Structure 1
Amino acid sequence: MKKNMFLVVFLFAFLLVPISAFAEGSLGEFNFDQKKSSHPLDKVNSKGEVIKYEDYSKKSIDLINETDSFKGSGELNPIFVGDLLEIDFQELIPPRINDDNRKREITPFVIIGPDGRAMVNDTTMFPFSAITYITLEWADGSRGTCTGTLIGRDRVLTNGHCVVNAQTQRGIVSATVHPGVSESTAWFGAYNAIDYFVTSNWINTGSISEDYAVLVLAQSNGRHAGDRAGFAGIRQVNNILNQNIGIFGYPGDLIREDEAINQYGMRGNVTNEDSQIAYYTIDTSPGQSGSAMLNTNNQVIGVHSSGYTDRDNNPLFNGGPKMNNFMFEFVSSAIN
């Protein structure tokens, strides 16, 4: 990355949707006391409770650098979610970003050149079955959508900004996860979130390097989401420059064009990186916040977060935190 390049960074904040078809129940009120956190990677749950980094670090992941994938039983439990299209999309003001003190602006999407995204025709097949459409609600009644990926029987990886607004330090009050949606049908059912985990540094700074979160899901009809739809393993990585990755999710712009909720994505190479963030020219748009970076073995090696433009708002590239040892420790501990 050229040092003299002026970059504008923005979060692909999820799209606000004024709808009523959300999960019953609540995650409760998020109350975070910064004084109780002593490490940037302390794990904070949906109640604001702090799990110390030293208490979970290397406890359950000693000597491993990846977790197993599971393709799922394929058992279908279809639910029509077309009523989610009866919406008036609005842009959400994103949390603050403290990345190199770069100026922040919001733009609708970052498409680099011709749009290379393609619709996934069969979302009942792994790994597309494990890519989830997430509906969210905040305490003030605002609602929105993100993308996530099943990484365990009842765990979903997404963005931190999909569950906690780092500017207001307020969390979501409810979320529903729909694996493998296409043709406005959630083929494997719907699952309510009962908890989530983010890092204390995300809450305090809104830094892209910690823009990740793990949702915990309740069962539906006696079954876990991952048992039906499968889940992707996560893999710790260091240098992934020029490696091929895929990013799949639920982009709001194409969903509006289709007038149906469908999954889209594309593959491309990592074009730049630092120790925490991977950059690429894979096309994305709002609604794809939280989409996994999938390697050629369909393992999760990072999570899409943001887009970058120059002074004139010309798109340059997209990016998000990669699964370095710190992110791997955090996410692995949240799975167990």
Structure 2
Amino acid sequence: MKRLAALCLCVPLSLMVASSSSFADDGAKLRSRAPTGNGPVGETPDPDRVARLLAAPLRTAPDAIANDRASRSGPRKLRAADFGTIGRSADGKDISAPPPEGTEQLISETAEREGQEASAKKKGNRAAPHQFEGGVEPVGDEAKNGQDRKVIGLDDRIVIEPTSKYPFSTVGYLEMEYSGSIGRCTGTVISRNIVITAAHCVYDLETNEWAKSVTFFPGLSGKSAPMGYFKAENWSIQKGYVDSTAAVDGNQVIHDMAIIEFSQDIGNTTGWLAVGYNLNLPPFVANIVQYPADKEGHLMWRSSCPVEAKDISEYFLTYECDTYGGSSGSSVYDYIDDNTRTIYAIHSRGNSEFNVGVRVTPMHFKWIVGKING
């Protein structure tokens, strides 16, 4: 099992899980939590609202992201400024903040680590393939096997029932309203009032438009919204996602990650999953809980697959877990047991050969922690 480093990332001790080893060797993670039973009750959608959900188009990665073939190459020349925050509030106000203090140093240390990793790969020093950490997230006796063709090979996705049971209660359907259109993605609760998803879900690179509103339906299952829905207060991404320099350098996709904040403590209702990073991330079994559009009825599905050493780069994971449009923003997490789940990447895009998740790096982690701490 991976070790966790004690980093100076300004995380309250109540949220951090850590041990006493160096930054260069390991990683860090936040704590997960089951529902408290005293959280806010979401609004109940009317039938017309549900019908609109079923007809909503997908939010997919733009060509600049989807066609990026450099996902497993490096090293990359990252800039601290690109980890600054930009965003939009529900009342239409712009949000802006500088990158977290110490980001430049984290970039330097990560780049050095990347060079060491590349050297180790050449020498064959990475963990042997087919020795995987963790396993498949169990879904209980209510699960039903899907029979459709999946994106890669045969379909082994499993529908989740009931969706209101932790940890599946932390995953929800995201509805984004744009000028003249509605989009949909998947998001995961990671703290008392924060959902994580992909940047392309809340910002349209092709039109340079922010979503005008974002609504979260935790545990949506067909026409049933067991926990109601919650309107977001604001949503933000990293500056590098829209920066033209990052696009030229091929770094835009590294920033395909978004934070959605709510005025209510929705995490007390849904519970939340832990987010973390591990610079020594071993091969593991990835679990992705999502709302894929090729499945009818807006049901929640779980896909799982092995991620081998060759599929792990400093900034990305590639995998053959089944996804589809609507899965964008889903968390890619490691399941050890009922008390140990860690999100290590956010699903960004895919093709008929493999799918790609943006890894939570030390820089992403510090950015996320800053948003959680407010």
Same fold by TM-score, threshold 0.5 exceeded? yes
Amino acid at match of 2:322: D
Contact 2:277–2:360 at 8 Å: present in 1 too?
Answer: yes
**Are the structure 2 counterparts of residues 164 and 135 from structure 1 closer, same or farther at C-alpha, using a change threshold of 3 Å?**
same
**75-84 or 112-121: bigger deviation:** 75-84
Q: Provide the C-alpha distance between the structure 1 equivalents of 2:341 and 2:173, rounded to a whole number of angstroms.
A: 18
Amino acid at match of 1:304: H
Contact 1:79–1:185 at 8 Å: present in 2 too?
Answer: no
Q: CA deviation at 1:93?
A: 7.6
Which whole-Å deviations, capped at 9, do the CAs of 1:121-148 have from their partners, x for residues lacking one?
111111100001000011x221110000
Q: CA deviation at 1:322?
A: 1.2
**1:77-226 counterparts in 2 under 5 A?**
79-80=44-45, 82-85=50-53, 87=55, 89=57, 94=62, 96-97=64-65, 99-100=68-69, 111-138=151-178, 140-204=179-243, 205=247, 207-219=252-264, 224-226=265-267
Which whole-Å deviations, capped at 9, do the CAs of 1:76-113 have from their partners, x for residues lacking one?
768356323552647768252384579xxxxxx97110
Aligned partner of 1:303 in structure 2 is 346
**Are the structure 2 counterparts of residues 112 and 130 from structure 1 closer, same or farther at C-alpha, using a change threshold of 3 Å?**
same
What SS class does the counterpart of residue 185 from structure 1 fall into? coil
Gaps of 5+ in 2: 1-6, 19-27, 72-148
- Which has a greater percent of helix? 2
Q: TM-score, normalised to structure 1's length?
A: 0.70
Which whole-Å deviations, capped at 9, do the CAs of 1:231-287 have from their partners, x for residues lacking one?
1111112243521110011111103xxxx2210011111130211000110000000
Q: Provide the C-alpha distance between the structure 1 equivalents of 2:267 and 2:165, rounded to a whole number of angstroms.
A: 13
Contact 1:208–1:320 at 8 Å: present in 2 too?
Answer: no
What SS class does the counterpart of residue 147 from structure 1 fall into? strand
Q: Provide the C-alpha distance between the structure 1 equivalents of 2:44 and 2:215, rounded to a whole number of angstroms.
A: 13
Q: Provide the C-alpha distance between the structure 2 equivalents of 1:161 and 1:88, rounded to a whole number of angstroms.
A: 16
**Are the structure 2 counterparts of residues 121 and 86 from structure 1 closer, same or farther at C-alpha, using a change threshold of 3 Å?**
closer
Contact 1:95–1:166 at 8 Å: present in 2 too?
Answer: no
Aligned partner of 1:334 in structure 2 is 371
Q: CA deviation at 1:320?
A: 1.1
**Are the structure 2 counterparts of residues 154 and 266 from structure 1 closer, same or farther at C-alpha, using a change threshold of 3 Å?**
same
**276-285 or 227-236: bigger deviation:** 227-236
Q: Provide the C-alpha distance between the structure 1 equivalents of 2:372 and 2:237, rounded to a whole number of angstroms.
A: 13
Aligned partner of 2:277 in structure 1 is 236
Contact 1:72–1:226 at 8 Å: present in 2 too?
Answer: yes
Q: CA deviation at 1:216?
A: 0.5
Amino acid at match of 2:342: Q
**Are the structure 2 counterparts of residues 184 and 240 from structure 1 closer, same or farther at C-alpha, using a change threshold of 3 Å?**
farther
Give the number of aligned pairs: 259
**Are the structure 2 counterparts of residues 132 and 321 from structure 1 closer, same or farther at C-alpha, using a change threshold of 3 Å?**
same
Aligned partner of 1:321 in structure 2 is 358
Larger Rg: 2
**Are the structure 2 counterparts of residues 171 and 91 from structure 1 closer, same or farther at C-alpha, using a change threshold of 3 Å?**
closer
Q: TM-score, normalised to structure 2's length?
A: 0.63
Matched, 1:262 2:305: no
Aligned partner of 1:68 in structure 2 is 31
What SS class does the counterpart of residue 184 from structure 1 fall into? coil
Root-mean-square deviation over aligned CA pairs: 2.6
Amino acid at match of 1:177: F
